[in-house]
Amino acid sequence: MGFQCRSTLTRLGVVLLAALLAGCGSIPWFGKDKDPTPPTKLSSFVQEVGVNTLWSARPTRGSEGRRLYLVPALAASHLYVADARGRVVSIAADTGRILWERETGLTFSGGPDIEGDRMALGTSQGELLVLSTQDGREQWRTPLGSEVLSVPRFTGDGKIVVHTLDDTLYGLDAATGKELWRIAYPAPVLTLRGSSTPAIAPSGIIVGLSGGKLVKLDPQDGAPLWEVIVSRPSGRSELARIADIDADPVLIGNTLYVGSYNGDLAAVDATTGEVLWRRELSAHAGLAAEGTGLFVTDSQDRIWAADLDSGAGRWKQENLLYRQLTAPAPIGNLLAVGDLEGYLHLLNQSDGRLVGRTRISKKGGIAARPLVSGGRLYVYAKDGTLAALTVGAASASKGGDADATQTAVSVDKSATPSAETP
């Protein structure tokens, strides 16, 4: 028996109508539209882990409430962030001091990724740019065919690979922006608004697509090395048949872990494309792996822990339902997730209980997975707030926030799946 948390899709009703009336083929899952399902109210808990804010600043205007894939990037002790109006900022990771900032006037929507002195960003107008990490000056710009809602990735061999919203994959020369290859996959009638970021493996580029397909491409010419269906669309309506892979694939050794919306969580052999195990679990925010555990934020904002080797469930945390959680970020023996009201929550990896909480922003939610490096958390909120934090032991006390409802939190283990492979 596998995970039994397939979304009912009721949350999509309002935004689906708006998308259809606009003649759009993608559903703005976390756009400016209000989610019709109210988020679970926060409850108090025993604060076992202290959260220390090293610095907090608001260097950009963030995503301005739009569903974008703007994330913090860290390289050589410098943080880089961009916003929806075209501002790019470099910040000292230790102090939060702005090193440089540049106004480009562009509508950034995905990135950045960093390699050496280059920084890659995508725009809502379907352009890919490479800027200098020294001062933000533009090195080149290349038009693509569709909006970029994933992180453009440097491949490590002089190329950049980009996945655009229309399920086209591009390989470009990192030095010049020249298009080296492209491959277009047909998208379903309806998709969620988003795209998975390519995973760069030693033997190829692996990308999740709309419709539940996972593909591996040759970085030299874009030729498919294998293709596999992780989740087959099913249901009577186009809405029920959405099975997009929007969560970024996670590569551990030679095994790829991937989740699809309204579909399955699966482990795939990165060399052959063979599905090693599959569990029923709807996810689009993302997943992470640490040690022997796989951690997933599902489509109703439960957080699950599963075994890497079999997919067998270990625990679930469902006291943050419908709070539009980010993908989990492992830090030490903890997991960090952000939510729609700007809170950062900390969970114990061993049993999923809530052990810490702090608020990063009161004006914007957190959509980007927290960035972990050197024992620190870097959190980027939708309103442009960027914060650096450390975590550590705290004296036992009532945790949470002053707005929190004073009720106990527990982790429900009664629905833990078995280790049996379907």
Token pair 């689009």 in the structure block, residue: 284
Strand pairing category for 313-317 and 371-373 = unpaired
Is residue 237 situated within a structural domain?
no
pLDDT in the model for residue 5: 39
Q: Please, are residues 135 and 102 in contact by the beta-carbon 8 Å criterion?
A: yes
Evaluate if residue 410 carries a pLDDT over 90. no
pLDDT at 417 over 80: no
Maximum separation of any 2 CA atoms in the chain, in Å: 58
Task: Please give the Cα distance from 177 to 188 (Å, whole number).
Answer: 29
Backbone angles phi, psi at 95, to 5 degrees: -120, -20
pLDDT digits (tens, 9 = 90+) for 338-396: 999 999 999 999 999 999 999 999 999 999 999 999 999 999 999 999 999 999 876 44
What letter represents residue 416's amino acid? Answer: T
Where does residue 273 rank: exposed (0-12), middle (13-18), buried (19+ CB within 10 A)?
middle
The letter for the amino acid at 294 is: L
In a domain, 32, yes or no: no
pLDDT of residue 186: 85
Tokens 């989990």 found at: 328
pLDDT digits (tens, 9 = 90+) for 226-284: 999 887 666 565 555 566 777 899 999 999 999 988 778 999 999 999 999 999 998 88
CATH code of residue 96? 2.40.128.630
Question: Which has the higher per-residue pLDDT, 37 or 327?
Answer: 327
Q: Is residue 374 part of a domain?
A: no
Domain presence at residue 299: no
In a domain, 397, yes or no: no
User: Which pair of tokens denotes residue 275?
Assistant: 């599905």
SS3 string, the chain, reads: CCCCCCCCCHHHHHHHHHHHHCCCCEECCCCCCCCCCCCCCCECCECCEEEEEEEEECCCCCCCCCCCEECCEEECCEEEEECCCCEEEEEECCCCCEEEEEECCCCEEEEEEEECCEEEEEECCCEEEEEECCCCCEEEEEECCCCCCCCCEECCCCEEEEECCCCEEEEEECCCCCEEEEEECCCCCCEECCCCCCEEECCEEEEECCCCEEEEECCCCCCEEEEEECCCCCCCCCCCCCCCCCCCCEEECCEEEEEECCCEEEEEECCCCCEEEEEECECCCEEEEECCEEEEECCCCCEEEEECCCCCEEEEECCCCCCCCCCCEEECCEEEEECCCCEEEEEECCCCCEEEEEECCCCCCCCCCCEEECCEEEEECCCCCEEEEEEEECCCCECCCCCCECCCCCCCCCCCCCCCCC
Q: Determine the Cα–Cα distance for residues 411 and 135; give it in Å rounded to an integer.
A: 48
How many structural domains are present in the chain? 1
| Of the candidates 365, 346, 364, the residue with the CA atom closest to the CA atom of residue 409 | 346
Residue pair 159/149 in contact (Cβ under 8 Å)? The answer is no
Report which of residues 310 and 231 the model is more confident about. 310
d(CA 239, CA 109): 25
- Is 409 within a domain? no
Q: Tens digits of per-residue pLDDT, 106-140?
A: 999 999 999 999 999 999 999 999 999 999 999 99
**Which residue range is the domain that position 181 belongs to?**
68-193
Evaluate whether residue 88 is within a structural domain. Answer: yes
The answer, yes or no, to whether residue 398 has pLDDT greater than 70, is no
pLDDT at 73 over 50: yes
In a domain, 271, yes or no: no
Pull the structure tokens for residue 69: 């894939």
Q: What pLDDT, in 10s, does the model give residues 158-170?
A: 999 999 999 999 9
